[in-house]
Amino acid sequence: MLEKPDIPDESIIDCLLVDYGLKIAQIAFLPLGADRNTAVYRADANDSTPYFVKLRLAGFDETSVELPKFLSAQGIRQVMAPLATGSGRLWADLDGSKVVLYPFVEGRNGYEARLSDHHWHELGEALGKIHAIAAPPSLIGNIRREAYSPLWRDHVKRLFDGAERIDHYDPISAELSALLACKRDEILDLVRSAERLACSLQDSDREFVVCHSDIHAGNVLIDSGGAFYIVDWDDPILAPRERDLMYIGGGLMGAGRTPQEEETLFYRAYGRIQLDTVALAYYRHERIVQDISEICRQVFSTNDSVPDRERMYQFLPSNFRSGGVLDIARNTEQLL
């Protein structure tokens, strides 16, 4: 979220005092991320200790804090656990929203800083452990299971068949409409491919593991000392491991490496496995379909701020560049 929500800073400061026992000297909104339901802040306590405050305005899932807490407790150092309230909960309530508190890490994400060989090793090691973890039934039972839902594909098709009204009420929505018209055939072909691959996956049994589901470069954090963290566990899922592995060599891990270099560095630590090419191709297609759907929902919305809508639109054109994620998805399908 790029614009500060209509929640007074004093309310957040009071929440941190009452629920976490922290006396906050100052708090500052951080204009980060594309999630319209999440606002983040830096809060500095009276003793100068900085904290990262995550304010979840809607769509809060308890597993988004319980899972990283469990993984961190299992010794997976690349996963940062949320801090507990005085009563032991991993979140606090604030006027219908949820407050989650973390240590503040001064660092850069994988788009801002090139991942070193060491960081690729850290990522491979961490995902290898996460995918092999045996979580307790009480936790596993609350994590959603992959169903290869047509939700995103159906929405994108409605954008083109006229079933969903689109109002060109400002330059941003008009520009998006023009891009959709230009890329219509490519997008609909993408949707058809994702549908074929989803059908293949639904017709067979595959091992499901705990997956982060959104490990792109923006969700890895490197601190000033070089420590590496996987962040933003808002949407974990039980799915084939390719749900996470699609990002490795998939064009979503920042600049500076070829897909082959990413795969070589990552799998040295993760371990060599036989990748399921059908699942890999599906997730690479479906990720783009989801991006198109979510970008259109937000850009065509009258409820979101102009800066947030402009930022979302900027993510779309890069999907179609030569050698980008769409080409990588097609090339993966051609391996079948």
Note if the pTM is more than 0.85: yes
N residues, the chain: 336
The CATH number of residue 18's host domain is 3.30.200.20
Which amino acid belongs to residue 191? V
Is the same domain home to 272 and 308? yes
Q: What is the pLDDT of residues 270-305, one digit of tens each?
A: 999 999 999 999 999 999 999 999 999 989 887 788
Q: Which domain holds residue 49?
A: 9-104
Residue 142 tokens, joined: 């609350």
Is the same domain home to 231 and 330? yes
Q: Cβ atoms within 10 A of the Cβ of 229, count?
A: 20
The CATH number of residue 168's host domain is 1.10.510.10
Q: How many domains does the chain have?
A: 2
Is the same domain home to 174 and 245? yes
Boundary residue ending a domain (104, 138, 162): 104
For residue 235, the 8-state DSSP code is: S
Q: Is 23 contained in some domain?
A: yes
Q: Is 229 helix (H, G, I), strand (E, B) or coil?
A: strand
Is the same domain home to 222 and 261? yes
Is the same domain home to 85 and 122? no
For the chain, give the percent of residues with pLDDT over 90. Answer: 87
Is the same domain home to 209 and 328? yes
Sequential DSSP letters for 131-188 = HH----HHHHTTS-B-----HHHHHHHHHHHTSS-----SHHHHHHHHHHHHTHHHHH
Rounded Cα distance between 243 and 251, Å, is 15
Q: What is the pLDDT of residues 125-179, one digit of tens each?
A: 999 999 999 999 999 999 999 999 999 999 999 998 875 666 667 889 999 999 9
Q: What is the pLDDT of residues 182-193, one digit of tens each?
A: 999 999 999 999
Angle at 288 between CA 155 and CA 57, to 5 degrees: 70
Q: Is 110 contained in some domain?
A: no
pLDDT at 34: 76
pLDDT at 164: 63
